[in-house]
Structure 1
Amino acid sequence: MNTAMKLSGFALGLAAVFGAAYGVGHVAGPVTPTAESRHDDTTAETEHGGAGDAGHGTEAGASGRLPGGLLVSDRGYTLVPVIAPAGEFAFRITGPDGGPVTAYDVAHDKRMHLIVARRDLSGFRHVHPELGSDGTWRVAAPFGGPGVWRAFADFTPTGGGPLTLGVDVTVPGALTDRPLPPPATNATVDGYTVTLAGSPQPGRTAELTLTVSRDGTPVTDLEPYLGAYGHLVALRQGDLAYLHVHPDGAPGDGRTRPGPAVTFFAEVPSAGAYRLYLDFKHGGVVHTAEFTVLAGAATAPTGGPAPTGGPTPTPNAPAPTGAAEHGEPGHGHD
């Protein structure tokens, strides 16, 4: 059964809206950013940042660039959702010439990383679409139930620098906003306990170490996943500014051990509440541990932000079947 969906681009300073039906309807056309949001070659690129890949993370006021994922169009590249059969999500990246991009560099074993999360920061998924000859990326729909979801396309077009573009996807239906869990330094997932040491600091690099154990025993045989022993995504509560971090060291480099500790160097763009999502692989399965952390002078969150541009939440409505909850294991990796 086709699920009606509205696709809307959301970006700071970007006045453009995508409209389409999910499974039926028409292809959403390219979006041209406003003069205020258009980035050109004089704007500092959003780079993957060296050791630890601090990457995608400082505010425009400090470095001349916005955090990743806030724009649907950047440096001439635009994320365009397109019509897809029921149960599938599809999109294209159009380039400066207006045509679909078909050449991408491999970054962390993949040419495209698609990360989705509900705007209340629940339901996180990290998946890898397949590219068709016409420049269309396709993947089994990663959205876990009703709500307003943010989809982040993290990629490097051949001949260009790394980019993260974002678009909102609204899945209609009864829903309740899920409060952001309080800050914590321990998370459990699938029988594993992950402990966080370190605290993010706005505008400067901070060391974050996540240590994995199972049944009280340190896990010392983590398996490489996408070329690393762990991947860390941070999303800022409210606008979902995006930071994709990779760990210090790599499997096989002669110095990096396969656990129990995985160390990252990350720079968050501002004070605020953030949700951290750690992907790690053990026993042939990818697991995701989630944390809420506070950066700077932020106060503890009291609840998730109201969804933007989507259906009005239904108070006291039961959680929809199949919807991903905060901390729910099995986040749809491939």
Structure 2
Amino acid sequence: MTLLRVRELRVGVAGTEIVRGLSFDVAHGETLAVVGESGAGKSLTARAVLGLLPPGARMSGSVRLDGRELSGAPERVYRQVRGRRIAFVPQDALSVLSPVHPVGDQLALAVRRLGRKRAWERAVAALDRVGIPDAARRARAYPHEFSGGMRQRAVIAMATVNDPALIVADEPATALDPVLQTRILDLLAGPGEGERPAVLLVTHDLGVAAAYADRVLVMYAGRLVESGPARAVLRRPRAPYTGGLVASLPPREVTGRPLPAIAGAPPAPGALPPGCAFAPRCPAAADACRDQEPQPREAGENRLVACHRFGQLPGPATDLYREPA
């Protein structure tokens, strides 16, 4: 069953459209990883779902949570669903933790409707559930008394204390070392007991997407490039852009050869080329690619691909970035 349904989402900032007609679904209990280079519009997409766009940003399209339309809704409607049905885990824990209040008090505030005593017990239990040692004592500590990894765990505890249906996680472990990164992602999107929340996971790391996502959505210049089951998309990408991302992943064994790379850089949002935005960097671009923007179309295996050359390439899209033997 669909929990989150986004259709034709458009987000503009300072008169420039950053997210350009994006559509996707997230099912109950599913982890959808949104991947792509910096500037693709991943974070703005996440914040549009939450209704937390920066000042001056403009949004159109449809965002439905449990069938309830949120796009264009007043702030009071978002307040009814944030924290209870949908929660947010940002990259920087200090951006959501108040430096002048104990961590436990901040978690208890999210469930204050239960009464002071029960809310405190719930906050301590949430900290214990995410692996904060001696949770009852540490709940009285301030954020600056926590390590970076513990702060991020506390934010996850805050996000999950109300048992939301959907967690939006924007690069939630990027600034942490690999061991802590794994622990944080295991807490968010790893297997667990009982019913787990759905996760909209924004990441630039395809390895994270491969390890934790059920499905992947690849973005470029504010639009969908390819989407589908994570294993299918990452093992056999069908769009040249996805192929370049996958080909650039370091192999498990040391080969001594330089990694393939996508030439050039993404275009500035206000200076997109005509046709496909990726065409100037694409090793398979044809005349049609430079004239007309491709639209997403069915590609089998519950996949979508927005590429004029889809179906015309002789092998997997990764081959475009590898030297012939």
TM value normalised by structure 2: 0.24
| Structure with greater proportional helix content | 2
| Structure with greater proportional strand content | 1
Rg (Cα) greater in structure? 2
TM value normalised by structure 1: 0.23
